[in-house]
Structure 1
Amino acid sequence: MHFSTAASLVLSLATIAAAQIPAVPIIKAIAPNAENCADTTECRTAEQAAPFIAKSMSDYKIYNVAEMAAIIATMAFESADFKFKHNVSPGRPGQGTANMQMANFNLLYAQSIDSVKSQVSQFTTIDGLSDADLNHILSLVQPDEFNFASGAWFYSTHCDASVKAALQANPDDGFKNYLSSCVGTTVTDARLAYFDRAKTAFGLTYD
């Protein structure tokens, strides 16, 4: 048993990599509550998020639809359908982006961005940093172009080859392995529901 891509449903890789508007239906399907934002301080709609997410897949050379589905499903879950870009509960300083990364990863992420890295050059580790410093680092990677690229960055730089191979071979088993081995979190029904929607949106079906 293996997965195939239903051509009538899946958004072409060329289209999503080019960050064109047809990416929006994919994001809407995965994050169905990303329809409007009462408070636009952090919240973004699917229409707003989609171009940045699509561009990130191209920027980080992620072209496999199962990998895309896993990354987007995780970001949508972590951010409550793109409503938040900082940790709300328990409110950890420095934790955030749509990928809800811990502060140490956000420092590494900031250091990887040419237009941002000079602003964190004084930091080599988060050890001993104040809450204000941690939140400042987070703020640097919260603009939309970085916020919605955080999932692709994390996947491409912090998930090893075995995690990627597993997702490509069998998305269901691979997604569970991605969560436990790379993201470092527990597999739950709620997380799987997001991935199920992502599989449908990308046309991943069993032969």
Structure 2
Amino acid sequence: MRVTILLSSLASIALAAPTACPTKVTASLIEQVMPTSNTCDGALDECRTATQAAPYFESAMRQYALTHPAQIAAVLALVGLESGDLKYKHNIWPGRPGQGTSAMFMPNYVKLYVESIPELQDQLTEDMDPDAILALVTPDEYNFGSGPWFLATQCEAAVRDELTTDPDAGFEAYMACVGVTVDEGRAAYWERAKTAFHL
């Protein structure tokens, strides 16, 4: 009888235990954050599916030392909104020259990002137009590293730290670093990201 009660108690504890937060970027997680990223049907050639993007996101998160679930979730929430669920690598409307990557950087940040990549630095020239600079980082291996790069190098360490201790406040600080506020659209992506990563 005591054994039965003990086993029952242990089972209850196991069921009540919180699910571990995922830290590896998978196609399934991306699709939970970006609901239409499971397909590129009818989209431009630059569109990528969650399955295609997942290994590049995973590699970039490790490269830029973003290993906490809330940090990863925040980047995916940002990228999801900015890229239209990975449909775009450049600004479609209003069609601003040189704006793009999956994080939809303004041209000045596109250039900074290019300058941070050793194998691309020598390809920059003084007279290069913004679209040509953007083209250097639209290949998948660079495109999906743009969001992680920005959080890791352009935001203060306090922003990354706050994401790990108070995800909602951290996300607001992250958006402030980007130069935007958490409007309804961004909040929707963030809520889906929190659900996907059990935050």
Shift of 1:39: 3.6
The yes-or-no answer on 1:148 pairing with 2:144 is: yes
Amino acid at match of 1:25: S
8 Å contact from structure 2 (residues 151, 174) kept in 1: no
Which residue of the partner structure matches residue 197 of structure 1? 192
Q: 1:139 aligns with which of 119, 135, 139?
A: 135
Shift of 1:6: 2.5
- Which runs of 5 or more residues in structure 1 are unaligned? 124-128
Shift of 1:162: 1.8
* 1:40-119 paired onto structure 2 within 5 Å: 40-119=44-123
Amino acid at match of 1:189: E
Amino acid at match of 1:102: M
Q: Which has the higher helix share?
A: 2
The yes-or-no answer on 1:163 pairing with 2:166 is: no
* Greater relative CO (CA pairs within 8 A, separation 6+): 1
TM-score (norm 1): 0.83
- Supply the RMSD in Å over aligned alpha carbons: 1.7
Q: Which runs of 4+ in 1 moved over 3 A?
A: none
Considering only CA atoms, is the larger Rg found in Structure 1 or Structure 2?
A: 2
Identity of aligned residues (%): 45
Three-state SS of the structure 2 residue aligned to 1:119 is coil
Shift of 1:35: 1.7
TM-score (norm 2): 0.86
- Which runs of 5 or more residues in structure 2 are unaligned? 1-16
Which residue of the partner structure matches residue 126 of structure 1? none
How has the CA–CA distance of structure 1 residues 133 and 166 changed in structure 2, closer, same or farther, with 3 Å as cutoff? same
Aligned counterparts of 1:170 and 1:6: Cα–Cα separation in 2: 18
Aligned length: 182
Aligned counterparts of 2:18 and 2:152: Cα–Cα separation in 1: 22
Q: How far does the alpha carbon of each residue in 1:5-44 deviate from its partner, in whole angstroms, 9 at most, with x for none? A: 721xx32x3xx2xx6xxx1111110111012112452111
Which residue of the partner structure matches residue 188 of structure 1? 183
